Amino acid sequence: MRALVPLLAAASIACGTGPTQSTLRNQGSACVDTAAGTITVDFETCLSSSCDTLLSASCTARWNVDAVELEAEAVIESAGPGTDCTTDCGFVTATCDLPDEADPSGNLVYGSLIRAIADIPCDSP
């Protein structure tokens, strides 16, 4: 019976009760600041400052005939189950350059979003 106790302890450690990583790809919304030449992606998720760590957030935009094709990704590490987390909300965003050759009258394609660049300006601060 003594040999079973260490085996059970090892099994509980191996069950993945620690931090987990998740990847968000091409989700949320995007806006364009044509004056600054940037695109900002809002992944539309909240991070708890006590339980979540943003490991990376990035986006890439390329011009393709008549549209800017945007891809974005964020990687988040979250505390394991049973952790008491604060209810604050840290936003996850990424900013990338608008391609130089992009036509401001063209479209932005992001996930299932296809909108005219002129129709999705970023709010002014």
Tens of pLDDT, residues 48-90: 999 999 999 999 999 999 999 999 999 999 998 888 999 999 9
User: Between 82 and 20, whose confidence is greater?
Assistant: 20
The strand pair at 107-110 and 67-78 is best described as: parallel
pLDDT at residue 82, as a whole number:
83
Q: Return the residue matching tokens 């996850």.
A: 92
For the chain, the average pLDDT equals 86
Q: pTM of the prediction? A: 0.80
Residue 34 belongs to a domain = yes
Residue 89 belongs to a domain = yes
Question: Which residue type sits at 118?
Answer: A
Residue 12 belongs to a domain = no
Q: pLDDT tens for residues 109-121?
A: 999 999 999 999 9
Answer yes or no: are the C-beta atoms of 54 and 16 closer than 8 Å.
no
Range of the domain at 32: 18-119
Q: How many domains does the chain have?
A: 1
Residue 31 belongs to a domain = yes
Residue 95 belongs to a domain = yes
Please state, for a pLDDT cut of 90, what percent of the chain lies above it: 76
6, containing H or E segment: helix 4-13
Residue 10 belongs to a domain = no
The strand pair at 90-97 and 67-78 is best described as: unpaired
Indicate the pLDDT class of residue 12, thresholds 50, 70 and 90.
very low
